[in-house]
Amino acid sequence: MTRYLWSLSRVAMIAAAGLLVQGIALAQDQLSQSPLTITGDGQTIHILPTVNDAAAFAQANADAGPLIYHAGGAVMNPSVTVYPIFWVPAKLQNGASTGMSGHYQTVQISMLADYAGHGIGNINTQYYQKSGTTTSYIQNKGGLGTAYLDTIAYPASGCTDRATPGNCLTDAQIRAEVVRVMQFAHLTGGLNKVFMVFTSSGEGSCFDSHSTSCAYTQYCAYHSFISNGSAPIVYANEPYGSTTNCQIQGAPSPNIDPVADAAATSASHELTEAITDPLLNAWFTAKGNEIGDLCAYNYGRATWDGGKANQMWNGHFYLLQQEYNNHTFSCVQVGP
């Protein structure tokens, strides 16, 4: 395994002259989903559905909120450190080549480093946890931990993802990778850390060996946790970006890298949900939707970078989905 710490100096974002998209006027503007929690073999995940599945869920199971606090549920507090794990071997399980550009990784690292202290992260501050008579609100604090590049080969394909035949990781295999990196880096769990596994091109995943819910056909990413006593390990599975299944068609690319931008909005969705519902027992609606589900693929207005971005953090541009505001009962770019 190779370990590296990324510099927070970024590659300059290149603006394409003349391209103007006045906001993202989406048909899915009021998009909401039905429950997206999947359980089996003692493990539970909460998924971000693909664009098509999200639209189907919205029609079948409209949900306008609000998010409800479930007594005893935990949030991440007072600050959150994010550890990206880029799992990029030389080959896929079927022997085909795979890869992930340095720029793709830089976009993810940049967004995760910039997240704390800015608009989307501020939406989280209206949510809290209760312990006895004490109420603790989420703080918009934290930052990026060490980013890890792991070039070890993927294990034998443990499932069948129709979108990536022969190349599929189960949730158990994703969890094993998280634990392996943590052991290598001497890291511990806890409700102040999130480990995000980014897999390379052509690699799929499914919840289990029965191929229950898979990347690119049912989900674009998901978050969950590993029970570990008083220090649970919160993690997310981030399959390689897909502009076909995991991004609204015609969406602009502020980083001139459409798959990286598609991956970044999925990662911001999962990070936000992990902060507000890390153990899947805190903040969700009566129908089981979390803060990001109610706003999936809803970007609001893109007013930055010539109409290509809806967020500008530390001088860097992103097109990220909005998140749900319990005060206004709506999807917002900045809160509360």
In this prediction, residue 35 has a pLDDT band, given cuts at 50, 70 and 90, of low
pLDDT tens sequence across 168-215: 999 999 999 999 999 999 999 999 999 999 999 999 999 999 999 999
Say which residues have a Cβ less than 8 Å from residue 39's Cβ, sequence separation at least 6. Answer: none
Q: Is residue 258 one of the residues assigned to a domain? A: yes
Q: Is residue 16 one of the residues assigned to a domain? A: no
CA angle 289, 209, 154 (to 5 degrees): 100
**CA separation for the pair 53, 295 (Å, rounded):** 14
Q: Is residue 219 one of the residues assigned to a domain? A: yes
Question: Which amino acid belongs to residue 165?
Answer: P
* Count of positions (residues) in the chain: 336
**How buried is residue 328: exposed, middle or buried, by Cβ count under 10 Å (0-12/13-18/19+)?**
exposed
DSSP annotation of 253 reads: -
pLDDT of residue 299: 97
pTM: 0.90
pLDDT tens sequence across 286-316: 999 999 999 999 999 999 999 999 999 999 9
In this prediction, residue 58 has a pLDDT band, given cuts at 50, 70 and 90, of confident
pLDDT at 255 over 50: yes
pLDDT of residue 83: 98
Q: Is residue 190 one of the residues assigned to a domain? A: yes
- Mean pLDDT of the chain, nearest integer: 90
Q: What mean pLDDT do residues 135-164 have?
A: 97
Contact, 101 vs 212, CB < 8 A? no
Q: Is residue 76 one of the residues assigned to a domain? A: yes
Which residue from 160, 166, 191, 197 is spatially nearest to 179, judged by alpha carbons? 197
Q: What mean pLDDT do residues 71-89 have?
A: 97
Kindly give the pairing relationship between strand 43-49 and strand 37-40.
Answer: antiparallel
Number of domains in the chain: 1
Q: Is residue 102 one of the residues assigned to a domain? A: yes
**CA separation for the pair 74, 189 (Å, rounded):** 15
The domain of 171 spans 2-11+21-332
